[in-house]
Structure 1
Amino acid sequence: MPIKLSDVMNHATFTAADPVLRACAAAAADTQLRWVHSSEVLDIAPLLSGGELLLTGGDALVTASDARRVEYIRQLAERGVGALAVETGQRLASLPSSMVRAAEEAGLPLIEFRKVVPFVGIMQAINSMLVSESVAHLRRADEASHEMAVELAHGSSLDQILAVLAGIIDATLELSSVSGVTLGNAGPNGAGTRPEGTGSPTDGAGSDEEPGHTAGTGTDGTVINIDVPVRGVPSARLIITVPADGDINLARVAGGRCVDILSLALLQRMPPGLKEVAGTALLRAVSSGSQPWRLQQLSPAAGIPPSATMVAVVVRTSTSQQLRVAMDKILKKSAQQSASYVDNAEVLALAALPFDGAASARAELVAALEELPVEAGTMTAVGPLAAGIENAPWSLSEAKVALDLAVNSSLRAAARPTSDTGGVVLDVENLAVERLAAQHLDQRARQDFVRQQLGPVLDHDTRRNSQLLETLATWLDSGCNTAQAARELHVERQSMHHRLQRIFELCGGDPRGTGRLAALHLATRLAAP
């Protein structure tokens, strides 16, 4: 029988601490525990694998900000930690209400220890009980691994191999590729659970560094994700759905124990292209900001020279899987080497461009993306040129910053429509001012600068419902070309001259040939509502 939080709450070593469940009390009866840890480190979540009861004296929480305490709760919940117990009374007088609210929202049982007890006593007593359970789990996991190996040796399908594990752990399984295509599935009765070729809703989650476990609770039970690597590169994901009355710890242990069998099955039955899976792993590493050594390691396997000049592309769309195919065709024409990856509603791509003529090749890529048919609302951003794979995360992050800024009206001039009028392409090289301001100036500083430079113009627009700010911005963006600005604004040249004259009066004269021209141009770019 799984050991649950309610069982631990009634243990003598635990009751000595006078525990009170402050959040998610109703979940105690169903929360299964795998181990008991104690730590005062707030960044402990990445070191946990789920199902733990974490004990803390609260020393670090005393000096942490309220936002950091909430983030601590959120990280533990996302990691699948079973429960958190915090000792109060000495340094931490009581549990902050923000932590209680965050735990309730995240579904993390939060326990307050109102008396001081030795954590080592609790850990020794409870973990000794858990060890006995773990031994039983390991026996059943080894049994599953052995039977799966037999099926593999007999040439069984992936569905048949998965059915062995599904029957032993009494859970529903799905094995999907990194692109979200279902490779095999099985239920507790051995039947398939999802038609072949369908995508997985969990594609894109999890660690990019090494095979790992993540868990979450859904309406159908607890979902456990386990990465399945092939030759060291994450190539598939085993998704285990454990019913509400199932043994989560057994599913975790057995699923992890069978990863090697599944890796061999993938190699034998449908060997993935190592270049493709390495490209996916590379983009996941770039997206998560991995260390340069990791990028240097993955880049050659993905066919991208580490020293190449490259550019990142980000597309936000609800048709990411379909759009990726069209994107790959463009990348093959515009780049020497490339890789793409679908991360939920985003298509991420990395293109290695010719060393000589990288700027022109990038311009051709932007032009090709503008011709790409997309659905309404699709937003595409092309990052700046990056020298070497170690700078690829910067190019990708700048593209994402541009997309985040695209909601501002000031970016409309920089957003080029695609062949489908519902989508736009952003070239981040045209947004240097906005990116700089967003990353290095706070909102108050931007507002003060805009007010100093354009105050009279803004007041005039407010009082008269005029469009002097838009007129000035268009004129400056055109290089102070009055005729071109008039065409873009669809006004007569004489009307344009009258508007400019009024703007000059409000701004202290014609700015051309003065140092004020650059300041006015900067202010118009920062004046988005």
Structure 2
Amino acid sequence: MLMSLERVLAHPSLAPAEPRVLTGSRGLERRTVRWLHSSEVLEVAPLLRGGELLLTGGTMLARANEDEQRAYVRSLAARGVAGVAIETGGELLEVPAPLVEEAAATDFPVVELRRVVPFVEVAEVINGALVNASVTRLRSVGVLSHEQSEALAEGGGVQEVLDALVRHTSTAAAVFDATDRLIAASRPAESPGGGPAGEAPTPFEGMGTGLTIRGVPAATLVLYPDADADVETLELAQDRTIEALKLALLRFRPPGPREFASSELVRLAAADGTHPQRIRRLGMSIGLRAEAPVIGVAARATGPSAELRRLDDLLSRYGRTAVDVPSPLAVHTLVSLRDRDGAANLRTRLVADLTAWRTSDRTAIAVGPVMPSLEDAAVSLGAALECLRRPTRAFRAGVVDAAELSAERLLLDNELRVPAERLVREQLGLLLTLRDEERDLLLTTLETYFETGFNKTRTASRLHLQRQSLYARLHRAFDLLGGDPVGTPRALAVHLALRAHRRLV
């Protein structure tokens, strides 16, 4: 069985520490622990792989300042650590409030250990149990792989592979094609139906994993686990089954030439855009008009996401699509629009529809600019992909409009990063020397002022300020800038510096 964080905290070796959960208490029974690790190093996050429960005596936290305490918990959360357990009572009398506040903002588990326990012994006992459980799971999945291989060798197909999976996991499962039509379903002998709670199986519930053949979406394997199922074992079994299903589908339901051409077209556009004529020919071979406007859309997920599988349904409302699935957690699409005259407005509607449609925090979608023809597809898709690759906060939002971030992408290009930093220092130097609170206040005010087209009424409304308060802030900022830049040649430089600074920090 998996060991949840809830179970680890209640383990006889750790319970004497009287653990008290300060933040992230929701879903402790679903948050799994891969390993226990102890450290007194503040910059420990890069040394971790994710899934660990970190034990610390808190000495370094007692000596750290507020910013370092916040950065510590942020780095652990970003690394995917299961939680941090902090011992109090010695040099650290209580868990620092800034750390707790930062953890609460992301629902990251912080646990106070109110009694001293030997971390080495605790880790030895619990890690031993975790290793034993992992060995058992791997053996079970190995047996499953052998049985599926035998089924294929004897001429079996998708149904036989699926039946073997269900026998070994006692979990209902189904396979759907790229249009979400049922290919095969199987259930344990004692189960009343193919899906959850005995219902007919659907592709949008349970644990779904997309299956691609040479980048072409071919099928989706969905498992319907019970509430107390061993999810890690199911994930291992699902991964092994995907490979067997690929062989079965290649034998009985291989993708057609159009699907392969569609995937190759998008891969070319995503690569470097140095083959515009080949992109044009491939597009025309699958029915895309060479002179029609095109938009590139890139999506990725941090875990299995039903939204990725449904994305093409929404995009195809705007035109003909070509799709490539480079990994189970990524989808790249080209949308060939039907209407040239209304292409720009159509793209604006698409961004709005995607924003309203996206519901999962696991999914990020970037929409490239509209380009005049298929030969320019690489420009649009490249812009979307660049937004998803950026590490800064602005590029991690749910739905990102790549056209709105053109200036940021230019300024954050590796070759231009040093000039961009110099631009920020030249234009905002005196502002940046202020104390953090005043600096951030004035920078936010200036950014909003520029974004509203220098409209003071709209700026005050957005910032929820009285006009006199806004005037006071602007007056202070203009003093540090050497005057109001509006209407001067310096306005563009200041605006670019403000946008670059926000992305560089």
TM-score (ref. length: structure 2): 0.52
Match of 1:147 in 2: 147
Aligned equivalent of 2:481? none
Write out per-residue CA displacement over residues 223-249 of structure 1, whole angstroms, 9 at most, x where no aligned residue: 656565545888655444432222223
**Does structure 1 residue 167 correspond to structure 2 residue 167?**
yes
Confirm or deny that 1:200 pairs with 2:204.
yes
Residue 314 of structure 1 contacts residue 349 of structure 1 at CA under 8 Å; is this kept in 2? yes
Identity %: 24
Let me know the Cα RMSD of the aligned residues. 6.3
Larger Rg: 1
Alpha-carbon shift at residue 261 of structure 1 (Å): 1.6
- Once the two structures are superposed, residues 160-181 of structure 1 have per-residue CA deviations (whole angstroms, 9 ceiling, x without a partner) of 4223323322334354567867
Deviation at 1:126, TM superposition (A): 1.6
SS in 1 for 2:229: coil
Per-residue deviation at 1:251?
Answer: 1.8
Are 2:305 and 1:324 equivalent residues in the alignment? Answer: no
Task: Give the CA deviation at 1:129.
Answer: 1.9
Do structure 1's residue 244 and structure 2's residue 227 form an aligned pair?
Answer: yes
- Equivalent residues of 1:184, 1:196 under 8 A apart: no
Distance of 1:377 and 1:391 partners within structure 2: 18
Deviation at 1:268, TM superposition (A): 2.4
Change (3 A) 1:121 1:398: closer
Q: What amino acid maps onto 2:383 in structure 1?
A: W
DSSP 3-state at the match of 1:112: strand
The 10-residue stretch of structure 1 (18-27 or 98-107) with the greater mean CA deviation from structure 2:
98-107
Task: Give the counterpart of 1:264 among 230, 237, 247.
Answer: 247
Matched residue type, 1:163:
D
Q: How far did 1:68 drift?
A: 4.3
Q: How many Å separate the matches in 2 of 1:432 and 1:101? A: 34
State the partner residue of 1:394.
383
Q: Distance in 1 between matches of 2:143 and 2:100?
A: 42
Residue pair 1:171, 1:188 contacting (<8 A) in 2 also: yes
State the distance in 2 between where 1:457 and 1:53 align.
Answer: 47
Instruction: Pick closer, same or farther for the CA change 1:15–1:364 going to 2, 3 Å.
Output: closer
Contact 2:194-2:200 at 8 Å conserved across structures: no
Q: Within 1, Cα distance between the matches of 2:94 and 2:194? A: 50
Equivalent residues of 1:312, 1:384 under 8 A apart: yes
Provide, for residues 104-144 of structure 1, a one-character-per-residue CA deviation record: whole Å limited to 9, x for no partner: 78676543234565644333222222222222222221222
Supply the distance in 2 between the matched residues of 1:75 and 1:83 (Cα, whole angstroms): 11
Summarize the Cα distance change of 1:267–1:89 in structure 2 as closer, same or farther, 3 Å threshold.
Answer: farther
Q: Is the 8 A contact 1:384 1:398 kept in 2?
A: no
CA separation of 1:160 and 1:193: change in aligned 2, threshold 3 A: farther
Please say if residues 266 and 332 of structure 2, whose CA atoms lie closer than 8 Å, have aligned partners that are also in contact.
Answer: no
- 1:304-383 superposed matches below 5 A: 312-314=295-297, 321-325=312-316, 327=318, 329=320, 339=323, 349-350=333-334, 367=342, 378=353, 382-383=369-370
Residues 55 and 85, structure 1, Cα contact 8 Å, conserved in 2:
yes
Distance 2:246 2:319 in 1: 27
The match for 2:445 is 444
Q: Distance in 2 between matches of 1:9 and 1:378?
A: 43
| Partner SS state of residue 86, structure 1 | strand
CA contact (8 A) 1:73 1:103 kept: no
Deviation digits for residues 370-411 of structure 1, max 9, x if unmatched? 67998996488625799996995435667999xx9xxxxxxx
Aligned position for 1:490: none
Contact 1:399/1:428 (<8 A) preserved: no
* Partner Cα distance (1:4, 1:347) in 2: 31
Q: Is the counterpart of residue 125 in structure 1 residue 146 in structure 2?
A: no
Q: Which residue identity lines up with residue 138 of structure 1 in the other structure?
A: L
Alpha-carbon separation, structure 1, partners of 2:123 and 2:130: 10
Say if 1:21 and 1:451 are closer, same or farther in 2 by CA, change over 3 A. closer
Q: Give 1:261's aligned amino acid.
A: A
The residue identity in structure 2 corresponding to 1:145 is: S
Q: Which amino acid aligns with 1:146?
A: H
Normalising by structure 1, we get a TM-score of 0.51
State the partner residue of 1:409.
Answer: none
1:464-479 aligned within 5 A: none
CA positional deviation for 1:257:
3.5
Say if 1:229 and 1:235, in contact at 8 Å, map to a contact too: yes
Instruction: Give the letter aligned to residue 247 of structure 2.
Output: L
CA contact (8 A) 2:176 2:182 kept: yes
Q: Secondary structure at the match of 2:14?
A: helix
Cα pair 2:211 2:221 within 8 Å, conserved: yes
- The DSSP-based 3-state class of the residue aligned with 1:258 is helix
Equivalent position amino acid for 1:260 in 2: E
Q: What per-residue deviation string (whole Å, max 9, x for no partner) do you get for residues 429-461 of structure 1? A: 9x9799999x989542245669997779999xx
Q: Is the 8 A contact 2:319 2:335 kept in 1?
A: no
Q: Alpha carbons of 1:388 and 1:522: their partners in 2 closer, same or farther (altered >3 Å)?
A: same
The amino acid of 2:194's aligned partner reads G
Question: Aligned partners of 1:454, 1:83: CA distance in 2, in Å?
Answer: 46
Residue 412 of structure 1 aligns with which residue? none
CA displacement at 1:264 relative to structure 2? 1.9
Counterpart mapping for 1:72-91 below 5 A: 72=75, 74-75=77-78, 82-88=82-88
1:254 to 216, 229, 237: 237
Cα distance in 2 for residues equivalent to 1:458 and 1:9: 49
Contact 2:298 2:385 in 1 (8 A): no
Alignment of 1:93-132 (within 5 A): 93-97=93-97, 100=100, 109-114=109-114, 119-132=119-132
* Residues 328 and 340 in structure 1, CA contact (< 8 A), matched pair in contact too: no
Q: Give me the whole-angstrom Cα distance separating, in 1, the residues matched to 2:268 and 2:200.
A: 27
Q: Give the counterpart letter for 2:230 in structure 1.
A: D
Amino acid at match of 2:234: A
CA distance in 2, matches of 1:458, 1:75: 33
Contact 1:453 1:520 in 2 (8 A): no
For structure 1, the 5+ residue unaligned runs are: 202-222, 287-294, 332-337, 353-361, 405-425, 460-514, 524-529
> 1:53 Cα shift?
3.4
